[in-house]
Amino acid sequence: MKRGGSLTIVCGSMYAGKSEELIRRARRALFAKRVVQVFKPKIDKRYDETMVVTHMGVKHKALPVRTSADLAKKIEVGTDMVCIEEVQFFDEGIVDLLINLADSGYEVVAAGLDQDFTRKPFGPMPRLLACADEVIKLRAICQHCGEPASHTYRAVDGQPAHKDDPVVLIGAVEAYEARCRKCHKLRGAPKKKFKPASG
C-alpha cells in the first residue's frame, strides 16, 4: 500500500539550482531504497539526451519523453517517486497527470521555470504552482549586478530579446542570464512606472 502522495514544485529563474534540488531529492529517495523514475522533455538536449544535467555538471539518469501522455505510459509498477525536469515544456495535460499521481500515493517532484524570458507565467506552471502541496522558489544571482535574481534574461546577438520572440528557445549560457528585476531588459516592452494618485 502506497504512503500518502504529494506534489512538490521547484521553480525559479535560470541558474537558480532547480535541477540540483531535483537530483538531490531523487538521490535521497534512492538512498532510502525507494523506487525513483526521473523524466525530462525530449526537446531538452542541451547537455545530454538521457540525463538531467545541472549547469555545474552534476548528472542523473532520466527518461526523455515528448508529452504528458508518453510520460504516463512509462511509469512502471512499483515506482514510489516520479521526478520531472523542465516541466514548463510539457503540455497542459501534465497538470492533471501530476495531480492524479499525487492523489494515487506517488511522491511527485517537478522542477521548471515559473516565468519565461518576458517574465510571464510559463506554460503549465501557474496551475502546477496552485495545485502543489509545496512550492520551493529558488533565486539565482543577477549576472549583471550581483543582487538576488528571480528573472531569466535572453540575449540575441548581444542585445535583449524582443518581447515578441518565440517563448521556447533551448539554450544555456550562450543565450540566457539570471537577472534581478532592475537589470532585466526586454526590447519592445513599454516601460511603465507606478505613479501614486496625488492626495
Catalytic residues, by residue number, are 86
Least Cα distance to 43 among 87, 4, 105 occurs for 87
| Burial status of residue 3 (CB atoms within 10 A of its CB: 0-12, 13-18, 19 or more) | exposed
* Cβ atoms 58, 20 nearer than 8 A: yes
Residue 18: Cβ within 10 Å count: 27
Biggest CA-to-CA distance, the chain:
65
Which is it for strands 63-65 and 36-41: parallel, antiparallel or unpaired? parallel
Distance CA 140, CA 124 (A): 22
